[in-house]
Structure 1
Amino acid sequence: MLRTVTGFIDEQTAGRILEHEHVMVGFVEDAKLTPADYDSDEVVGMIGPYMLRLKEAGCSTFVDCAPEYLGRDPYLLKSLSLQTGMQIITNTGYYKKPYLPSFVHLEDERELARRWIREASHGIGDSGVYPGFIKIALNDGKAIDDVQQKILRAAIRTSLETGLTIQCHTIGDDVAAHADRIMEEVSFDRERFIWVHAQSSIDKTILQRLAAKGMWISIDSILPGTYDEHVNLLKELVELGISDRILLSQDTGWYNVGQERGGKLNPYHLLFTDFFPYAQQRGLDSGWLEACVTRHAFQAMSVRK
């Protein structure tokens, strides 16, 4: 089952799932973004038509990946879901420096995990909305620094306690491999972990090795101008034998806090109306493309007991 901002849904209701997208993002350092920095009604009014167009394209479920302090607003997301009929999933978790509150640097992994477990058990504030997954990030580079390691370990604890999947912003093979070693230490099930932005991989044998352990491989930058690049990448991943671990999304949108009327908004429907037909013409199997946004995405995002 998937946990949306309005309750649990089954695979049939979930339908097509965009597993990594954004409604609103506010890149305000030191966790200083507050609801006073934007007009919720304006955000819903601006994003609503894009959601409706996405529904017309045959997508039913939208996973919003802005974590707390970076644009997560459960009240706004619930309002948007009720107004458009789109199933929306939100999260618990934190991003990375410099968008972290000061207490993250002071608390240990158990204390951070308790915060997220509380949201998963009792809801986010008094919104009545429960998170459907854990969203975290790792720093770029060759290794994961101490703060982001602590966040990763807190996410593992939270997942084990709540059954929520971890979506992890992960750039590059070295950081992904380091995360895998940390999960190996505690025998964490890689099927609960999504490598977000796996298109950043250079050494595809790393993707192959981690997918073989069960890790989900999220290719989530499929935007106009990149279609040939992504068709070639997906063909390579199929040839590597990891087609059953692939997720597809766009990582697009979004209302940008601080810009007039949210700045330049991008549509959500093009993966289905533009990329899928083009990819099929280039030789990718239509049934497999659909599986990546239905069966695979449902399995990856399901709450597990």
Structure 2
Amino acid sequence: MLINPNGYTYCHEHLHIDLSPQKGNIDCRLDQYDLIRAEMDALVDRGVYNIIEVTNAFMGRNPQFIESLMSDTNINILLSTGYYIEGFFPPDLYTKSAKAISREMIREIVDGIDGSNLKASVIGEVGSSENTFTETEKKVFEAAAMAHFETGRPISTHQSMSTMGRYQIELFKQFGVDLEKVTIGHCDLKDNLEDILWLLDQGCYVQFDTIGKNSYYPDSRRIAMLKALAERGLLERVMLSMDITRRSHLKENGGPGFCYLMDTFLPQLEENGISRAEIDTMLKHAPYQLFQ
């Protein structure tokens, strides 16, 4: 058992990530241990027992940091293996075959992550660029499919600004991936209910995982889309998260903090007619089905 079934799960988070070299901004180095530990303690107090940590190796993954968080806070964290998107790939990735990349993923799942006692449990976050899908991104998706076949572990994706989700699924179909073991990320950054309905119809999971990022897309419209899905009885494969990636996202630094979803967003859902049972479906039952 990988997921603690008794608590809620955030399906797409970063607890240690460093994209500052690519973005030229120290704010993109999320590494303030004491602040993050305090926020994990607060989440556990609110019944969030699991975090799906989708930072992979070239995004600044730090398994020792995660081991300490798990020990100090008793939160359960699942780590990921893979590569992100164009602009965030190591140079040698361009010359590697999909098979070679898949072997790296399989090793981290089966044997463990170098320098730690942890193994990867999720293949992710593997992604596509905004409105396009580069050849190297496609190669990573092929490698993810191979690693999935070998290990059975689920795949978590990144959509840049809620684009290319359909193409991601079509690519996985070409590779013969079991779509019930796939979750499409960042489905909540534009008005795209028709795309979400199509994705759900394919059998995969969808993530409303940028909750609180109102500068990208307002929570009021996220709630409207979730309400539309609830009215259709389609929340069984919908999951929630915040995708915190910056120091400025932390509560102590003036951001919403990890508890925003629990303290602010969930009451707004209930005010808009989404029941506690439906919330449990998105935060407990759906993640357990996918990540166990």
Of the structure 1 ranges 49-58 and 74-83, higher mean CA displacement relative to structure 2 is found in 49-58
Cα offset, 1:170, TM superposition: 1.2
Would you say the 8 A contact 1:67–1:91 is kept in 2? Answer: yes
User: Over the residues paired in the alignment, what is the CA RMSD in angstroms?
Assistant: 2.6
Would you say the 8 A contact 2:106–2:150 is kept in 1? Answer: yes
- Per-residue CA deviations over 1:68-104 (Å, capped at 9, x if unaligned) read 1212111110011101111111111111121111111
**Amino-acid identity (%):** 21
Would you say the 8 A contact 1:65–1:135 is kept in 2? Answer: yes
- Mark the CA change 1:106 to 1:166 in structure 2 (over 3 Å): closer, same or farther: same
1:184 matched residue in structure 2: 173
Letter in 1 for 2:47: G
2:112 matched residue in structure 1: 123
Of the structure 1 ranges 223-232 and 278-287, higher mean CA displacement relative to structure 2 is found in 223-232
Does the alignment pair 1:27 with 2:19?
yes
Select 1:17's aligned residue among 5, 9, 12: 9
CA distance in 2, matches of 1:245, 1:140: 24
Does the alignment pair 1:298 with 2:292?
no
Cα offset, 1:139, TM superposition: 2.9
2:65 matched residue in structure 1: 76
- Mark the CA change 1:187 to 1:114 in structure 2 (over 3 Å): closer, same or farther: same
For normalisation by structure 2, the TM-score amounts to 0.88
- Per-residue CA deviations over 1:228-276 (Å, capped at 9, x if unaligned) read 22221101222344221111111126448xxxxx966642112112221
Q: Where do residues 1-305 of structure 1 align in structure 2 (5 Å cutoff)?
A: 1-2=1-2, 9-12=3-6, 15-29=7-21, 43-171=32-160, 175-200=164-189, 202-223=191-212, 226-252=218-244, 254-255=246-247, 266-302=256-292
SS of the equivalent of 1:63 reads strand
Of the structure 1 ranges 176-185 and 109-118, higher mean CA displacement relative to structure 2 is found in 176-185
- Per-residue CA deviations over 1:273-302 (Å, capped at 9, x if unaligned) read 222122112211111011100010111222
- Mark the CA change 1:102 to 1:19 in structure 2 (over 3 Å): closer, same or farther: same
Of the structure 1 ranges 211-220 and 272-281, higher mean CA displacement relative to structure 2 is found in 272-281
Task: State the number of aligned residues.
Answer: 283
2:25 matched residue in structure 1: none
Would you say the 8 A contact 1:177–1:206 is kept in 2? Answer: yes
CA distance in 2, matches of 1:62, 1:211: 23
Would you say the 8 A contact 2:49–2:76 is kept in 1? Answer: yes
SS of the equivalent of 1:252 reads coil
Task: Note the residue ranges of structure 1 that are not aligned, 5 or more in a row.
Answer: 3-8, 31-37, 257-261
SS of the equivalent of 1:200 reads coil
Letter in 2 for 1:11: P
Task: Note the residue ranges of structure 2 that are not aligned, 5 or more in a row.
Answer: 23-28
Letter in 1 for 2:5: E
CA distance in 2, matches of 1:156, 1:213: 17
Would you say the 8 A contact 2:54–2:125 is kept in 1? Answer: no
Would you say the 8 A contact 1:170–1:198 is kept in 2? Answer: yes
CA distance in 2, matches of 1:39, 1:189: 33
- Mark the CA change 1:73 to 1:58 in structure 2 (over 3 Å): closer, same or farther: same
Cα offset, 1:217, TM superposition: 0.7
- Mark the CA change 1:248 to 1:173 in structure 2 (over 3 Å): closer, same or farther: closer
Would you say the 8 A contact 2:142–2:175 is kept in 1? Answer: no
